[in-house]
Amino acid sequence: MNIVIIGMGEVGKHIAKVLLDEAHDVVIIDQDETALSSAEERFDAMILQGHGGSIATLREARVDSCDLFIAVTNNDEVNLLSAIRAKQLGASQTIARVSNEVYFDDERGLHRDTFGHIDLVINPKVLVAIEIHKLVRTSAAVAVEDFADNRIEMVQLPVGESSAAINRPLFDLSLPSNTLIAAIERNGELIVPSGADKLLPGDEVLCVGRVEQIPKVEGLFNRERKRFIHKVFIVGGSEIGEYLARTLEEDGIHVVVVEQDRERCYELVELLGDNVTVLNGDGTNMTLLEEERIDRADVFIAASAHDEVNLMASLLAKDLGVRRAIALVHKPDYATVCERLGVDASLSPRLTVARQVLKYVRHGRVESIRPVLDGRGEFLEFMAISGSRITDKPIKDTQFPKKANICAVLGREGAYVPRGDDVIHGGDRVVVFTTPDLRARVERAFQRPTRLG
């Protein structure tokens, strides 16, 4: 692929390295001489100095013939302008990193077909907050995955003897709307179920559905989040901390936010609900943590703007007895330090953005592959193509492989779990559960037939 990258910060450098290692043709653009000199030493790529929004610079980079244009500078407006102009000049696909929430009307982190010219806009703050929220939720589930721009969720749940779901055919279960059971693991065996299959104590189920419906599914299996996570402690009242506090409160969890800026504390009190306690203080103050009984917190999240604060606060929390500590790290190299020092998990907004961009590059029509159950099953995310076997007819008439489940669709009607009478259209994004041996057959259903002669 011919790829143009605007911005040689941590995100741009990481993306450039991976793409060049994969033998793509890459053009790098930045205004900063030091950043470009460093890139010239490290990368075998065409290097241009100039403003990303300059039409002259974009023409010199030949964006009219590029397969993918990636704008990841630290300036939202430059990213937006350059991506829009690149598309107007003929770039096949464009991606822009945009952090300011004023450009968005919801909190998904990923926004497709934005402003009529940008194929994918990535909000790193919301995206990493969603990832942290997912890590917190895994205390109630064996595993959690998100699909379709974070609108569809999969949870892996154990089936206990007290569950109301046992010994009943699946078609008789009162599953919430827009949810389904995609697979069952029983004694090491993977089952892709039909409506007549029954659940037994000791099974584990993979449930898929709209994000807001998944807590109801967890209740059916006696795995309500608030039973397993009662209190979460957050250091840092930034946009990430605010998003986490609000979403965790919606899960019925008591949240304590520690923020040093007094004015920001007043803002958070107005923005957040009664089940969130806001404290004005230093998250690395051991006395404060002890007085607030940090040892009783189920999860500790260090989400300030400073890596050193996050690392120190997480280590203090672990030393004081918190069960699980998660640290936000802006410098990717700090992630390995966190792991060595015993922090349970760390996330980098920059690497989170890079992973989304690279996923867009690598999989083409198969947008992602998520192995589950030690690789015995996998979730595939497709972009449906008009004219393929899966499109423009009821799903029940598509001859889709029987041991694979179409779990969710993100299309013109929004995100939903489809039934046999539903129709998939070109451009819809489709989540499928299958096994590795069936992947080729599933992929063929999403390919346009080859015409002979």
Q: Tens digits of per-residue pLDDT, 107-116?
A: 677 787 777 7
Report the C-alpha gap between 230 and 127 in whole angstroms: 24
State yes or no: pLDDT of 335 exceeds 80. no
CATH superfamily of the domain spanning 361-445: Regulator of K+ conductance, C-terminal domain (3.30.70.1450)
* Residue the block writes with tokens 């899966």: 390
- C-beta separation of 125 from 239 below 8 A: yes
* Higher pLDDT pick, 379 / 222: 379
Give CA separation, 366 vs 207, 247, 360, 400, in Å.
Answer: 21, 30, 9, 17
What is the residue-averaged pLDDT of the chain? 86
pLDDT at residue 361 in the model: 66
H/E element holding 55? helix 55-60
pLDDT band at residue 276, thresholds of 50, 70 and 90?
very high
β-bridge mates for residue 408, sequence order: 431
Q: Where are the domains of the chain?
A: 2-122, 227-353, 361-445
Q: Count the alpha carbons within 13 Å of 419 in the hemisphere toward its beta carbon.
A: 5
- C-beta separation of 77 from 50 below 8 A: no
Report helix, strand or coil for 254: strand
Stretch 198-224: mean pLDDT: 86
pLDDT at residue 363 in the model: 44
pLDDT at residue 225 in the model: 60
DSSP 169: B
pLDDT at residue 393 in the model: 92
Same fold: 227-353 with 361-445: no
State yes or no: pLDDT of 143 exceeds 60. no
362-373 burial: b if 16+ Cβ within 10 Å, else e: eeeebbbebebb
What architecture does CATH give domain 227-353? 3-Layer(aba) Sandwich (3.40)
pLDDT at residue 178 in the model: 92
* Higher pLDDT pick, 5 / 147: 5
State yes or no: pLDDT of 360 exceeds 50. yes
pLDDT at residue 281 in the model: 92
State yes or no: pLDDT of 235 exceeds 90. yes
Stretch 83-103: mean pLDDT: 90
Q: What is the pLDDT of residues 37-79, one digit of tens each?
A: 998 888 988 999 999 889 999 999 999 999 999 999 989 999 9
Q: What is the pLDDT of residues 299-333, one digit of tens each?
A: 999 999 898 999 999 999 999 988 888 898 887 67
Fold for the domain defined by 2-122: Rossmann fold (3.40.50)
State yes or no: pLDDT of 211 exceeds 80. yes
pLDDT at residue 347 in the model: 83
Sign for the CA dihedral angle at 277, 279, 283, 284 comes to negative
Q: At a CB cut-off of 8 Å and minimum separation 6, what does 408 contact?
A: 147, 148, 152, 208, 209, 210, 415, 416, 417, 418, 430, 431
pLDDT band at residue 453, thresholds of 50, 70 and 90?
very low
Least confident range from 34-38, 231-235, 244-248, 362-366: namely 362-366
Sign for the CA dihedral angle at 195, 196, 202, 203 comes to negative
State yes or no: pLDDT of 452 exceeds 60. no
DSSP 389: T
Q: What is the pLDDT of residues 168-208, one digit of tens each?
A: 888 888 888 999 999 999 988 898 888 888 999 989 889 99
Give CA separation, 452 vs 136, 251, 385, 386, 449, in Å.
Answer: 52, 55, 19, 18, 9
Report the C-alpha gap between 326 and 338 in whole angstroms: 9
Q: What is the pLDDT of residues 424-439, one digit of tens each?
A: 998 888 999 988 888 8
Q: Count the alpha carbons within 13 Å of 315 in the hemisphere toward its beta carbon.
A: 11
Report the C-alpha gap between 161 and 26 in whole angstroms: 56
Mapping DSSP onto H, E and C, the string for 421-440 reads CCEECCCCEEEEEECHHHHH
